[in-house]
Amino acid sequence: MSMQENHHPSEQLLADFAGGKLSTGMSVVIAAHVEHCQSCKEQTADSEESATTEWIAEADVEASTGAPDFADMAANIVQMPQANARRDEVPAFTEMHMLDHSVRLPRVLAKIAAEGLVWKKLAGGINQASVALDDETQCEFLYMKPGSQVPVHKHLGNEVTLVLDGSFSDELGNYQPSDFVVRDGSHTHRPASEEGCLCFAVLDSPLTFTTGVARLLNPFLKYRFKRATSAGSL
Contact criterion met (CB below 8 Å) for 20 and 81: yes
Q: What is the pLDDT of residue 74?
A: 47
In three-state secondary structure terms, 105 is coil
CA angle centred on 78, ends 76 and 79, rounded to 5° = 65
pLDDT of residue 101: 81
Q: Which residues have a Cβ under 8 Å from the Cβ of 1 and sit 6 or more positions away?
A: 10, 13, 158, 160, 182, 184
Tallying the residues shown for the chain, one arrives at: 234
pLDDT on residue 226: 85
169 backbone dihedrals φ, ψ, rounded to 5°: -145, 160
List the chain residues with pLDDT less than 70: 1-6, 51-93, 99, 232-234
Structure confidence at residue 170 (pLDDT): 92
Q: What is the pLDDT, as a whole number, of residue 86?
A: 47
Q: What is the pLDDT of residues 128-158, one digit of tens each?
A: 999 999 999 999 999 999 999 988 888 888 9
Domains in the chain, ordered, with CATH?
Answer: 116-232 (2.60.120.10)
Residue 56's pLDDT is what? Answer: 64
Q: Is 156 exposed, middle or buried (0-12, 13-18, 19+ CB in 10 A)?
A: middle
If DSSP states are collapsed to H, E and C, what string results for 160-227? EEEEEEECEEECCEEECCCCEEEECCCCEECCEECCCEEEEEEECCCEEECCHHHHHHHHHHHHHHHH
DSSP code of residue 130:
E
3-state secondary structure (DSSP) of residue 139: strand
